[in-house]
């Protein structure tokens, strides 16, 4: 850009000099063409820089919404999306199903195999979830080893079916691709906001929905882990694996 600025100034001075010289019409025309060329070049470069800046801003905006390890939505992005989904759900009387997934004994695994292995497990968890959760559902890493999944406008039984499918997927996933004999299981709490839910502040409704799913998750943990529970239901004995 410094070269362009110098050229721009030179073109202006050449125009002024040629205009002040008798019989300098030819030089004046040449100077005018040079000046015009520099103006066009300046505009082109400025446009490219502006385009590059817009792409950089867009990339940074996307990155700010993702968990850098799993590339799932981060907590802030998830909460923002869900508040919008709650407003839409209220308008169209859609139910919302929330799943909170927690990896069983994850801290013990980190202590035994190191945090690098824990990170690799989380990357595989994200892959497992993408393979088993609908493309229109929302998935986010909302804590260290805690994942949230939200489904909008799903049938009432969807949460139960999805939780059951995910628990089974964790049990049968090929974790030995990371470490021989490695096993990773998950506990899942489910809560449903019915389509006819009372109007309220989206942030409050979302917080209450996640709290209910969290309480259901806690009861799964108390009941032996590696299972799921729908909020409001009684836990059942875990099946033999």
Q: How far apart are CA 174 and CA 181, in angstroms?
A: 10
Contacts for 171 with CB less than 8 Å, ≥ 6 apart: 185, 226, 241
Identified catalytic residue from 61, 131, 145, 211: 145
Q: Which two tokens stand for residue 142?
A: 């909302």
Q: Do residues 229 and 219 make contact, with C-beta atoms less than 8 angstroms apart?
A: yes
Any catalytic annotation for residue 145? yes
Two tokens, residue 105: 């004994």
CA pair distance 88, 95, nearest whole angstrom: 10
The gap between the terminal CA atoms of the chain, to the nearest Å, is 68
* Distance (Å, whole) CA 133 – CA 73: 14
Which residues participate in catalysis according to the annotation? 145
């Amino acid at each position: 850009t410094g070269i362009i600025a110098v050229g721009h100034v030179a073109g202006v001075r050449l125009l002024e000099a040629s205009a002040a010289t008798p019989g300098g019409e030819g030089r004046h025309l040449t100077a005018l063409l040079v000046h015009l060329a520099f103006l066009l070049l300046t505009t082109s470069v400025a446009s490219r820089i502006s385009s590059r800046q817009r792409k950089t801003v867009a990339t940074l905006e996307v990155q700010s919404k993702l968990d850098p390890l799993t590339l799932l939505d981060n907590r802030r992005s998830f909460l923002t999306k869900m508040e919008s989904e709650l407003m839409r759900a209220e308008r169209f009387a859609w139910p919302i199903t929330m799943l909170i997934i927690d990896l069983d004994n994850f801290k013990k695994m980190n202590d035994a195999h190191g945090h690098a292995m824990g990170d690799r497990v989380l990357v595989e968890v994200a892959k497992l979830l993408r393979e088993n959760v609908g493309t229109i559902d929302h998935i986010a890493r909302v804590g260290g080893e805690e994942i949230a999944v939200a489904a909008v406008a799903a049938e009432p039984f969807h949460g139960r079916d999805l939780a059951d499918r995910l628990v089974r997927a964790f049990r049968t996933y090929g974790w030995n691709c990371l470490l021989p004999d490695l096993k990773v299981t998950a506990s899942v709490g489910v809560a449903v906001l019915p389509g006819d839910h009372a109007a309220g502040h989206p942030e409050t409704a979302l917080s209450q929905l996640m709290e209910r799913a969290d309480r259901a998750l806690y009861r799964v943990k108390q009941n032996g882990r590696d299972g799921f529970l729908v909020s409001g239901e009684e836990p059942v004995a875990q099946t033999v694996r």
